Amino acid sequence: MSVGRGSLELNERTRMNSLPSGSPITRRSFLSSSGVTIGAVAAGTLAVDRLAFAQASDTLKIALVGCGGRGSGAANQALNVPGTKLVAMADAFKDRLEGALNNIKQAQGAKVDVPAERQFVGFDGYKQAIALADVVILATPPGFRPFHFEEAVKQGKHVFMEKPVATDGPGVRRVLAAAAEAKAKNLKVGVGLQRHHQPGYLETLKRIHDGAIGDITSLRVYWNDGGVWVNPRKPGQTEMEFQMRNWYYFNWLCGDHICEQHIHNLDVGNWIKNAYPVRCHGMGGRQVRTAKEYGEIFDHHAVEYEYADGSRMYSQCRHIRGAWSSVSEHCVGTKGHADVSGHQIRVSGADAWRFRGTKAVDPYQQEHDDLFAAIRSNTEYNEAFNGAKSSLTAIMGRMATYSGKMVEWDAALNSNITLSPDAFTWDAAMKSLPDAEGFYPIAVPGKTVAV
């Protein structure tokens, strides 16, 4: 179970267990429960397992779950924070764990103390690694995130988890429930949507929220680039191993690139609006990346999201080499417009504003600095709610492009379609299987049931 954000973001760097399983969740109840503790928590029925606070002199023990490139990067960034030590690691693949351990040791030296007995390989090793730590980094492919997060919160641990935090509606509901429990236990949770920790974005969004361009009427968000790696099938691999080695191309693991990468831009759109869309429709398909090695995902999506006030967010993401590339966000208001990713604002009759503050801040590092500062100071800090909502924004976009239908927020959230296999073993029966020629089933708009 491993992931590499550095290699994926090619243009960057630059319960509901407490509810009956069939109980529908409305958009209103979902949003309201995000900012406050749900009823069972407020009533004190959730036990606080541990004192979730560390004195400044304490060494915070870190466990890494998911040892790919992004996991290694996140671990290094966490260890750059004074008073931290890596004490446990877990991954489904032994080679991934060993490679990450060697790389992190080279960078961090004595801050890495992970002997063989604290190296856990296999699907269940995450539980043992979590038990040994104060802070857990969850950096596996996103399909594992909901139950890994659930376990970390159950054990009373602070968490940094990568985005997206789920790949389907049931997963989002699990994250929401665990987020509420984390809030009740005073646990701190960071999510890898690092733009929220980047000075240029922070200042631009503050000005927009203060009314610099008036009421927001429309947004444009893009993640258009050439795509990512492929790991060819090897003799003797089970279907589970092949899909996990190529997790980016299977929806139960990745959610399609609209979830794995474009979530960043969709999240910024939601941040601008201080809201989440009520519905969306769109189109997409496989036009260029059609070979069997690209699994079951589309190579392009275009989605129109609608917010409750009637404003629209126009979204594009594409994995096609040689085509126009852009990873950016833009918005138009009643008084002007903003190049949000470029940190510029223009208003009619006024001089343009451009962010001229420090650009030396590494947002990937800053998100860890902020999380650990909150742990040390015992400041309320929980990014899981927004992580779940922005993940759902991306998921409902995929539902719209795969089905060709209008998708409502509540329907996406309450979907009972679970993408992951029923068991996590190397010989598990997978829900998506190749045909005799090695091609996987591809969604067909107008026919595919995606919600």
From the list 196, 198, 192, the residue with the least C-alpha distance to 357 is: 198
Superfamily of domain 198-359+392-413: Dihydrodipicolinate Reductase; domain 2 (3.30.360.10)
Question: Is the pLDDT at 5 greater than 80, yes or no?
Answer: no
Average pLDDT over residues 82-90: 98
Region of residue 83 (left: phi > 0; alpha: psi -120 to 50; beta: else):
left
Question: Is the pLDDT at 410 greater than 80, yes or no?
Answer: yes
pLDDT tens for residues 324-333? 999 999 999 9
Average pLDDT value over all residues in the chain = 90
Cα distances (angstroms) measured from residue 283 to each of 74, 248, 265, 448: 34, 20, 18, 13
Asked if 340 contacts 320 with a C-beta cutoff of 8 angstroms, the reply is no
- Chain centroid to Cα 168, Å, comes to 12
Give the per-residue pLDDT at 323.
97
Question: Is the pLDDT at 287 greater than 50, yes or no?
Answer: yes
Per-residue confidence band for 12, with pLDDT thresholds at 50, 70 and 90: very low
Asked if 263 contacts 393 with a C-beta cutoff of 8 angstroms, the reply is yes
Q: How many Å apart are CA 339 and CA 342, to the nearest integer?
A: 5
Cα distances (angstroms) measured from residue 154 to each of 36, 151, 183, 188: 19, 5, 12, 13
Average pLDDT over residues 209-220: 97
Residue 407 has φ and ψ, to the nearest 5°, of: -120, 125
Amino acid at 202: L
Neighbours of 82 (CB within 10 A): 11
Give the per-residue pLDDT at 350.
80
Per-residue confidence band for 190, with pLDDT thresholds at 50, 70 and 90: very high
> Which of 21-35, 83-97, 268-282 comes out lowest in average pLDDT?
21-35
Question: Is the pLDDT at 33 greater than 50, yes or no?
Answer: no
Per-residue confidence band for 50, with pLDDT thresholds at 50, 70 and 90: very low
How many residues in the chain?
451
Q: How far apart are the first and last CA of the chain?
A: 27
- Chain centroid to Cα 310, Å, comes to 27
In this structure, what is the dihedral angle of CA atoms 90, 96, 101, 107, given to the nearest 10 degrees? -130
Per-residue confidence band for 53, with pLDDT thresholds at 50, 70 and 90: low
Cα distances (angstroms) measured from residue 284 to each of 178, 413, 433: 33, 21, 22
Asked if 118 contacts 132 with a C-beta cutoff of 8 angstroms, the reply is yes
The helix (H) or strand (E) run that includes residue 60 is strand 60-65
CATH value of 5-195+366-381 in 3.40.50.10710, 3.40.640.10, 3.40.50.720, 3.50.50.60 = 3.40.50.720
Average pLDDT over residues 37-50: 35
Question: Is the pLDDT at 139 greater than 70, yes or no?
Answer: yes
Alpha helices in 3-118 (DSSP H): 5-8, 27-35, 39-42, 69-79, 94-108
SS3 of residue 18 by DSSP: coil
* Domain ranges within the chain, ordered by starting residue: 5-195+366-381, 198-359+392-413
Retrieve residue 1's tokens. Answer: 């179970």
Cα distances (angstroms) measured from residue 142 to each of 2, 167, 213: 10, 7, 36
Asked if the domains 5-195+366-381 and 198-359+392-413 are classified in one and the same CATH topology, the answer is: no
Question: Is the pLDDT at 54 greater than 90, yes or no?
Answer: no
Question: How is 297-335 classified by DSSP, letter by letter?
Answer: --SEEEEEEE-TTS-EEEEEEEE-TTS--EEEEEEEESS
Give the per-residue pLDDT at 438.
95
